[in-house]
A and B are shown apart, each in its own frame.
Chain A
Amino acid sequence: MSKNNTVYIGKNKSFWDRNRRSGGYLLKRRAIQVTISVVRALLIFGLCFMIVQPLLTRLSMSIMQEKDLYDSTIILLPRNVTLDNYRIVAELTDLKTIGGGWHFNALLNTLWVSVLVSIFQIVSTTLVAYGFARYNFPLKKFWFALVIALIIIPPQTIQSALYMNFANFDVLRIFTLFGADAEGLTFGQRLMSLLDGTGTGLIKLLSGQTWNLRANVSAYLIMCMTCMGLKDGLYIYMMRQYFQGIPTSLEEAAYVDGCGTMHTFVRIMLPDALPTIASCFLFSFVWQWTDIFYARLFLPSSAISLYSTQMSSMVTKMGRYFSADASKAVVVPNGRQLQLIAIAVLICAIPLIILYIFTQRTFVESLAMSGSKE
């Protein structure tokens, strides 16, 4: 009974020894493992670098003086460092009065608008999602199909109609049918006015004019209250998915103990769903922060200066800004334009990145939770 006959792979044996005993299998396996992890590391590093690199380039570009931009020997590290570019961008995007002090108007406006909008969006979508997840009612499938439609229909389709509606806001546009402002219209045209939004409504009937709600934030808040804001369909879908995953026994126990509907919802369901709600809130905040579509539609820069709208009109302002004579625009060199835009992008993105660093877990993990219930 000698030990040499049994195949014994001990710790004291060297790798090569063990490899020989396994007939080359061990080496093959190790080689495959190493190759896989090297390829993986390269791939991950390369792609990560690709995502982060534009930020780094912008950072280094942002502190270059203008002459460094045209110096072909300078690629990443600036030779002449300056922070003056930030001042210029701040003046162009309404963060600072020209020649005056800093007031951060555009960013502060963006901040409160985003917070307000997100709160309205999340409150209404949470309620709706809970209704879809927990209650049975006639036509439920139909309404939920409309939620999906809401995700799919690009808001651009109704852009012009919404613009018209809120620029000439009115309620109950049915009075044309009954003869107000209807000289020379046939009955068919009067009927049509019910549909196409040209009918005279209550507000015009009483005050002689329609309201322009585009001038303040109220129009957009009305939209958010009724789940028609930016990507609201997605939030409803995500939260419904989560609510459906919570076992019903807790609620049933609460009902048996005499809890009312609202009470159960607020005391039992909401605390449970808090991570998902938080992540939806963060998404909503972040997307609202950079949104340009609804901002252009409802909050023109003449009414509220938001950072996103300021940023998009920055290029057109540059020509005026750099010319000595305020009535004539000069042509700003491309490199300079790109540099200033890069700084504007940085100013926009840095608060978000800081927020993201602190809330990364909420972002990624609660999305994971809502997804795993599929």
Chain B
Amino acid sequence: MSRERKLISMQRRRARTGYLFILPFIIGFILFMARPLIQSLIMSLNDVVMVPGQGYTMTWKGLDNYHIAMGADPYFNARLVEEIGRMATNTIATLVLSFVIAVILNQDFKGRTLARAIFFLPVILSSGVLPGIEKQNEFYDMMAGVAQSVENASGVNISAALQDLLQVSGVGSGVFDVIFQMIDAIYDIVMASGIQIIIFLTGLQAISPSLYEAADVEGCTAWESFWKITFPMVSPLLLVNCIYTIVDFFMKNDNRVMERISTVMYSDAKFGVASAMSWIYFAVALAFILISSFIISRAVKSAQ
């Protein structure tokens, strides 16, 4: 009896210690995440005016801010659609590319360490202010546009030429549009896939070599053992990577929706509209994460 009680009190004590350890997170989440979330939801339904030193006042406007964000704002809508399209293609391309690169980097060849170091470099080089800084420059946009049209006119643009060729040969153009969009964005994609490569690589290294030996003895070709061993073993990481890629994409600094939200907030001081925009944005991101994780977890299950 007393022993049992001792056990229970021991458990309770451990539970208390556990709570002490995660206390910073609980406080932080309630104060700096949950509360601001509620606040920003309320702000998105109000007209917010800042009074320096005195706080801010709100007047109820209902869904007006959402109407402004979706209807009246000249940029938000268009950029949102554009970014979603870009994200969908980029996510797929990032997953495929990082998987292929991870498989290659897992093989033995000369200069592997150097190659790994270089492929991981984008984690540093494409964070924070660095990727956006050149695109923030509106002249740059203009110049890129000019360069594009010059390329098109002179026929230097290889991917466009190939595209024409394939379209003439009667292949469905919709699919190729997407693929060529990916090829044109390959730099962005490589720069965004550092962490994903590492995650896949760790998954590959966790596969026991004896599995491959056994398959080899049984007469499996490398191609077969790739699809029967490598892919099923690594496929759970697809989900992790997919979510990471989407989240990363949505939070990137060169994202033009975010840029717009920042402008509305800091330059125009329309806090209500900015909140409404970020909520729309968040809802879209969440929907994407849910849909893709549903699809991928289904696919992974059927692959195993």
Contact = CB atoms under 8 A, between A and B. Distances in A.
Contacts, number: 284
A268 to B, nearest CB: 15
Given A160-B275, A334-B143, A364-B120, A223 B128 contact: no
Given A47-B119, A161-B37, A227-B24, A156 B281 contact: yes
A227 B24 CA distance: 7
Nearest to B261: A156
B278 A338 contact: no
Interface in A93-152: 124, 127-128, 130-132, 134-138, 140, 143, 146-147, 150-152
Contacts of A296: 262, 266
B202 A353 contact: no
B133 A360 contact: no
Contact of A158 (B37, B132, B203): B37
A63 interface: no
B20 interface: yes
Interface in A315-374: 315, 334, 337-338, 341-342, 344-345, 348-349, 352-353, 356-357, 360, 363-364, 367-368, 371-372, 374
A87 B279 CA distance: 43
A217 interface: no
Contact of B275 (A132, A150, A161, A195): A161
Given A128-B24, A348-B130, A155 B121 contact: no
Interface stretch (B67-75, B84-92, B164-172, B245-253): B245-253
Interface string A236-270: 10000000000000000000000001000000000
A50 B116 contact: no
A138 B282 contact: no
A287 B25 contact: no
B56 A160 contact: no
A227 B203 CA distance: 28
B238 interface: no
Interface in B178-200: 186-187, 190-191, 198-199
A124 B129 CA distance: 25
A374 B203 contact: yes
Q: Which of the listed residues B19, B21, B140, B289 has the most CB atoms from chain A within 10 Å of its own CB?
A: B21
A283 B124 CA distance: 8
Q: Which of the listed residues B25, B136, B266 has the most CB atoms from chain A within 10 Å of its own CB?
A: B25
Contact of B129 (A151, A209, A292, A357): A292
A51 B129 contact: no
B37 to A, nearest CB: 6
Given A157-B282, A344-B133, A51 B121 contact: yes
Contacts of B31: 226
A161 B24 contact: no
**Interface majority SS (helix, strand, loop, mixed), chain A:** helix
Interface string B255-296: 000100110011000010011001101100110010000000
B22 A368 contact: no
Interface string A22-53: 00000000000000010011011001101110
7 contacts: A43-B104, A143-B25, A146-B25, A312-B133, A315-B137, A353-B121, A372-B205
Interface of A: 37, 40-41, 43-44, 47-48, 50-52, 55, 124, 127-128, 130-132, 134-138, 140, 143, 146-147, 150-165, 167-168, 170, 192, 195-198, 204, 209-210, 212, 223, 225-228, 236, 261, 283, 286-287, 289-293, 296, 308, 311-312, 315, 334, 337-338, 341-342, 344-345, 348-349, 352-353, 356-357, 360, 363-364, 367-368, 371-372, 374
Interface of B: 11, 14-22, 24-29, 31-33, 35-40, 42-43, 46, 48, 50, 53-58, 101, 104, 107, 109, 115-125, 127-130, 132-134, 136-137, 139-140, 142-143, 186-187, 190-191, 198-199, 201-203, 205-206, 236-237, 240, 243, 247, 250-251, 253, 258, 261-262, 265-266, 271, 274-275, 278-279, 281-282, 285-286, 289
